[in-house]
Amino acid sequence: MRPRAIDLFAGPGGLSLGLKEAGFDIIAAVEYDKDAGKTYEHNIGAHTKIKDLTKYKPQKLEKELIKSGVWVKGDDLDLIAGGPPCPGFSLIGRSKMYGTAKLKDKKLKKEVHRFIAHPKNRLFREFVNYVKHFTPKYFIMENVEGMTSYELNEEPIVEVIKRSFGENYNVDSEVLDASEFGVPQQRRRIIFIGTRSDMVLAEYPYSDEITKISALEAVRDLWNIDPTEGDAEVNVPTASPKSKGAGFRKIMNDWPCTRPDGSTVNGSETKYNHWTRKTNARDKVIFPLLKSGAGHYSSKDITIPSSKPRTIYGDVYPGMWESHLKPGFDKANLKVSRKRKRDYVESADTKWVMYPNSSFKDKMRRIRWDKPAPTIVAHLSKDGYMFIHPVHQRTITVREAARFQSFPDSFVFQGSMTSQFRQVGNAVPPLLAEKLGKCIINALSESAKKTN
């Protein structure tokens, strides 16, 4: 029998998809967002529960699992995984909000740490409650890297989190960069792995920077499938069919997903979710001025390499016009002017005000195509200015963002474009999840050998 897992704060299913590929059966997944829950069900299975974990207690889930026949009272669960949102992390050390928070732990009959007690971290406590109820052999918890830099009363928050799971678990933490595990994206996250005291310690996956895949390699086959009108095709430099990029694209095409009717599908000629926002009149003027930051390629059809720092919205300096324009771009009707310490770009009869370079250094950013993509974030649901396509004069599509997260082509996101961007940005990259899952599988195997 395959080892069994429960996915909490499951989102669209990035973590579950990777764990499933590693060899787990996901018997339940709990997610609050309805669109994300529909995406999960469409691609992975109908075992998803669209519930609020603050109200959906582990005892309730256990009863439903027993009723459905996938669980027997007293069974030993192999894994609980998830990434509980902890918005309070961004406030630690910046306010006194934690100074007044108190909470009585009814079981231990004592006050718990103020970080754990604070209402904004309630979802984290629910993850702990599920672990304490089901007592899985292992657990995986993913969260933002930023928590590693915070302390409360001279105690690192990471240590507070580890201690909250109790003496029955040995908890390790490590910051992993997804780009070192086959994901074409620089995404650093802290991963907690908890090992029950009677099990062999689970190790972290081996990190290998040689496997890094560039943004170009990730979406090479999407390069000329442009959802906007009037954008010319681009000649992409040739690459070996045996390259690491080719291997990644094959995984994206071949990785199967399960439909609600039980059928299994893999890649398709149709590239679903390949849509993005229209480029407005202002951005049509600004976007061609932003360089990719390309390095080792020199194809004039993609960009002009430059030794200057990346150009940003409002970063106007001598030589910008010549060194950053794409070949053939008509700048005859463009000019820069300055009034009251603000820069302007003029095109025909329209004048576009530009953000001050000193205050808005990251207002607009074109993705470098010679390196892994920057961290895909949920803010894509608001705008895509931090993710301008390496070549085309538009922001990236949902499909391209999903590729950078290592979601396979057969994975179809549900809901509006805004919702789809948010789902992609909040997800755990499936390829990283698969690597973590295999580490747990190995630990389970070693534990079984030890027992026998």
Residues taking part in catalysis: 86
Kindly tell me the burial class for residue 357, based on how many C-beta atoms sit within 10 Å of its own C-beta (0-12, 13-18, 19 or more): middle
Give Cα separations from 30 to 50, 59, 126, 127, 408 (angstroms): 6, 14, 12, 11, 22
The full length of the chain comes to 452
Give the CA-trace dihedral at 238, 243, 248, 252, to 10 degrees.
50
Cα separation, 406 vs 432, in Å, equals 9
Sign of CA dihedral 163, 25, 183, 387: negative
Q: Tell me how far the alpha carbon of residue 121 is from its chain's centroid.
A: 20
Helix (H) or strand (E) holding 404: helix 398-404
Task: Give residue for tokens 């979406």.
Answer: 219
**Rg, the chain, Cα only:** 24
Q: Which amino acid is at 237?
A: P
Give Cα separations from 269 to 154, 251, 253, 392, 410 (angstroms): 55, 15, 9, 21, 10
